[in-house]
Amino acid sequence: MSSSVTFVWDERLAGYDFGPSHPLAPIRVELAVRLARDLGLLDLPHVVEVTAEPATDDELRLVHSQRYLDAVRRAGENPHTMDLLHGLGTDDDPVFVGMHEASALVVGASLAAARAVVSGRSEHAVNLAGGLHHAMPESASGFCIYNDAAAAIASALATGVERVAYVDVDVHHGDGTERIFWDDPRVLTISLHESGRFLFPGTGFATDIGGASAEGLAVNVALPPGTGDEGWLRAFDAVVPPLLASFSPQLLVTQHGCDSHRLDPLAHLELTIDGQRTAYAALHALAHAHADGRWVALGGGGYERVEVVPRAWAHLVGEVVGRPVPPQTAVPASWLAYVTERLARRGPVSMSDGPDPVLRRWTSGADHDDPLDRAVHATRMAVFPLHGLDPHWD
C-alpha cells in the first residue's frame, strides 16, 4: 500500500472544452473519475482528494511567454476576432470563451499534484485532466493550450529538485515537453509513440537526443504502426528502466495518454487495456526503484471515451493508490447506468480486454528483420552510450 496519495479533481476542469465535435471531450475525464470513484479507489483512507486553483501568470511563465498568455487571454475574451496567431483558432485548437481560465486551471491542477509530491505531503499524485504535452512555449498545438506537464516539472526544478524524469506513453510524440527541456540537463524526457512518419506531430525520431547541454536526455522511441502489447512492452523494457536507473531522478512525472489502444480512432497502435495497465504498474515500480517513490501521474490523449479512457485511467488510479484493480473485476453497474444515461451507450462490462500480455525481454539483442526491434535498437544506439550503457545488451 502506498502512503498518502493526492488525487486532484475539480468539476471545473471539465470547462477545458473545445466544443461538441472536438475529440478531446471533457466527458472522457469525467467518466474516468467516476469509474475510479465507483470502484472505491478514492474512498481509501490514504487518498486525499483536492480541488485546483488556476495557475497564475507567474506560474505559466515558467514555460510560456507573456506574449502567448496575452494572446490566449485575448482570444478567449473575444473568440470571433480574426487576427489569431500562436496556433489558436485552428481545427485542432479552436478558440472558446474562457479559454485562458480553463487552460490555466488544468495547469493549476498539475502544479497542485507536483507540489503535493515535492513537499513530501504525498508520495504520489495524479491529475487525470493533465498531460497536455503538445503545447509549446509560444503556441497551441494538438488540443493543448498550456503545457501543464512542463509547468509541473519546471515548478519542481524551481523549488530545488535537481533531476526530473518525464516518461510519456501517449501514442503521440510528447513534443512540447521535450522542446521546453531540450537543452536542460536537469530533465530527462522519454517518449514512446507511434512513429512521426505516420502520425501527428510528425517528430520524435531516435536521433533526436537533446541539445548540446543535454545530449542523450531527450529519448524517442518511434514505434511502427500496428505495435501491440508485446512489442510495446518490449520497447519500454528495453529503454525506460536502464535510463531511469542511470539518470536517477528525484521526481518522476508520467503522461498517460491512452490513445495507444487498438480502439483509438486517431492512431494505429494495437494495445489493450491489459498492456496499458502493465505499463502503469511498471512505471509505479520504477518510481519506487529510482525516484524514491516521488511520482506525479498525468492524463493525456485517448479518444475512445467509453470503452477505453475510463478503464485505462481507472487502472492508473488503482496503481497510483496502491490498489491495482484485478483485471477480472466487473465494471460497476452504477457506472454503466450512468454511461447509458449520459450517452445512450452501453459501456464495457469487464475491466480487462483479455489475458495478461507476455513480456519478451530485450536480453539477447535485436532481431534486425523486425521493425519493432529496429526502432528500439536505433533509440538505444542513439542514447545509451551517452549514459555509459551498452546499447547491444541488457
Residue numbers annotated as active site: 134
Q: Is 301 in the site for Zn ion (CB under 5 A)?
A: yes
Select 2 or 278, whichever has its Cβ closest to Zn ion.
2
Select 295 or 384, whichever has its Cβ closest to Zn ion.
295
Under the phi-then-psi rule, with left for phi > 0, alpha for psi from -120 to 50, and beta for the rest, what region is 112?
alpha
Select 49 or 53, whichever has its Cβ closest to Zn ion.
49
Interface characters, 41-80, with Zn ion (x: CB under 5 A): ----------------------------------------
Across the chain, where does the E strand assignment appear? 5-8, 47-50, 124-127, 164-168, 187-194, 218-223, 251-255, 295-298
Cβ pair 319, 277 in contact under 8 A: yes
Task: Pick the closest to residue 313 from 169, 203, 175 (CA basis).
Answer: 169
Task: Pick the closest to residue 29 from 325, 309, 336, 317 (CA basis).
Answer: 309
Q: Which of 148, 170, 264, 353 binds Zn ion (CB under 5 A)?
A: 170
Q: Which stretch binds Zn ion (CB under 5 A): 22-30, 104-112, 159-167, 300-308?
A: 300-308
CB of residue 81 to Zn ion, shortest distance in Å = 29
Q: Is 194 in the site for Zn ion (CB under 5 A)?
A: no
Q: Using CA atoms, how far apart are residues 14 and 63, in angstroms rounded to an integer?
A: 23
Q: Is 186 in the site for Zn ion (CB under 5 A)?
A: no
Q: Using CA atoms, how far apart are residues 335 and 341, in angstroms rounded to an integer?
A: 10
Query: Grid coordinates representing 138?
Result: 509560444
Q: Is 175 in the site for Zn ion (CB under 5 A)?
A: no
Which one-letter amino acid corresponds to residue 96? F
Select 323 or 380, whichever has its Cβ closest to Zn ion.
323
Q: Which stretch binds Zn ion (CB under 5 A): 73-81, 86-94, 172-180, 373-381?
A: 172-180
CB of residue 200 to Zn ion, shortest distance in Å = 8
Q: Is 259 in the site for Zn ion (CB under 5 A)?
A: yes
Q: Using CA atoms, how far apart are residues 385 and 390, in angstroms rounded to an integer?
A: 6
Select 64 or 172, whichever has its Cβ closest to Zn ion.
172
Interacting residues toward Zn ion by CB under 5 A = 2, 170, 172, 257, 259, 301
